[in-house]
């Protein structure tokens, strides 16, 4: 609404009264007009506060008026958690507090077995102290620094230098080499009293079985005793190699005979096909040609009559 202000000194008394009445009417209309200011109440910060802020929420009444407001789908999915009921699992790892807590209770026997196991591991990993008067010496050079692994597993007294200088005696053989070169059997190789062995992880794959390593001098001693010396071992090796060779030759001859048999059958079939005599059935056409068809093999041939 626009109001026009006119200088009252230029108006007469009736005009002044009219302008005054118009101004008072405009003030009354402005006082009674609705407010244009946005007075929207504050929105709740969460869905739980929104439900609590609804009228009659604490009265426990049910109905469409007391139902919570639907969540806008554009805001995405969400999950509400009660943090007071959550348990800290420490990411699934065991901590010192869990190990020393009241929930972990071990008996005296379990504690004693664990201590004995630790002492055994320490004892196996440590090398014995060197005493010049009582410590074992190398059988070749008399050194006190013997190879304790070979002494503990195979019972031989040799130092590292002598072991490297004599590979023909102190090298380690695999189970396959013992079976192929010295003609020993699985029961003999599994007998620890006869042939002690050293277990090592398989270098090809961790899922494979452990390697069984044997000392060459001990394997040779058992093999020579079994076959009656080097000559007996060589004769047995040659006999087995000859047997393998004869088996390979017999297999080759068997395959050759089978090939000849198939070849002869093919030749016979080709010869029988060549000896076949056609039994013709003729069919004449208007263009002067005759079609011949064999009743037995179905061969067809067109002949032009002159």
| pLDDT for position 123 | 65
Torsion of CA 144, 147, 151, 157, to 10 degrees: -50
Looking at the domain assignment, is residue 128 inside a domain?
no
Looking at the domain assignment, is residue 209 inside a domain?
yes
- Dump the DSSP string for 188-203: HHH-TTTS--EEE--S
Looking at the domain assignment, is residue 273 inside a domain?
no
- Dump the DSSP string for 22-47: HHHHHHHHHHHSPP-S--PPPPPSSH
Looking at the domain assignment, is residue 215 inside a domain?
yes
Looking at residue 207, which CATH number applies to its domain? 3.90.530.10
Average pLDDT for residues 164-187, to the nearest whole number?
Answer: 92
Is 177's pLDDT higher than 90?
yes
Burial (0-12, 13-18, 19+ Cβ within 10 Å), 31? exposed
Residue found by looking up tokens 């208007």 in the block: 286
Helix or strand (DSSP H, E) at 280? strand 280-284
| pLDDT for position 186 | 92
Is 35's pLDDT higher than 60?
no
Task: Identify which of 53-62, 196-205, 291-300 has the greatest average pLDDT.
Answer: 196-205
Residue range 69-83, pLDDT digits in tens: 777 778 777 777 777
Looking at the domain assignment, is residue 197 inside a domain?
yes
Q: How many domains does the chain have?
A: 1
Residue range 186-219, pLDDT digits in tens: 999 999 899 999 988 888 887 888 899 999 999 9
Looking at the domain assignment, is residue 72 inside a domain?
no
Domain, as residue range, for 184:
171-239
Looking at the domain assignment, is residue 148 inside a domain?
no
Looking at the domain assignment, is residue 186 inside a domain?
yes
């Amino acid at each position: 609404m626009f109001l026009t202000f006119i200088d009252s000194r230029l108006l007469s008394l009736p005009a002044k009264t009219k302008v005054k009445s118009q101004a008072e009417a405009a003030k009354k209309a402005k006082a009674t007009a609705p407010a244009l200011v946005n007075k929207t109440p504050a929105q709740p910060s969460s869905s739980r506060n929104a439900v609590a802020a609804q009228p009659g929420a604490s009265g426990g009444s049910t109905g469409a008026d007391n139902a919570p407001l639907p969540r806008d789908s554009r805001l995405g999915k969400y999950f509400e958690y009660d943090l007071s009921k959550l348990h800290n699992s420490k990411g699934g790892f065991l901590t010192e507090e869990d190990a020393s807590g009241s929930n972990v209770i071990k008996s005296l026997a379990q504690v004693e077995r664990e201590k004995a196991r630790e002492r055994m591991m320490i004892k196996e990993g440590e090398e014995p102290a060197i005493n010049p008067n009582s410590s074992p010496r190398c059988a070749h050079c008399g050194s006190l620094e013997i190879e304790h692994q070979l002494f503990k597993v195979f019972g031989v007294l040799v130092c590292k230098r002598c072991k490297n200088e004599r590979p023909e005696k102190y090298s380690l053989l695999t189970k396959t080499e013992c079976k192929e070169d010295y003609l020993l059997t699985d029961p003999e190789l599994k007998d620890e009293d006869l042939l002690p062995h050293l277990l090592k992880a398989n270098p090809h794959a961790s899922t494979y079985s452990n390697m069984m390593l044997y000392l060459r001098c001990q394997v040779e001693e058992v093999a020579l005793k079994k076959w009656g010396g080097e000559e007996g071992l060589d004769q047995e090796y040659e006999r087995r190699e000859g047997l393998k060779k004869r088996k390979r030759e017999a297999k080759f001859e068997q395959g050759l005979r089978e090939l000849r048999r198939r070849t002869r059958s093919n030749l016979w079939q080709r010869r029988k096909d060549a000896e076949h005599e056609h039994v013709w059935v003729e069919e004449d056409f208007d263009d002067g040609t005759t079609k011949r068809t064999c009743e037995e093999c179905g061969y067809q041939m067109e002949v032009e009559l002159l």
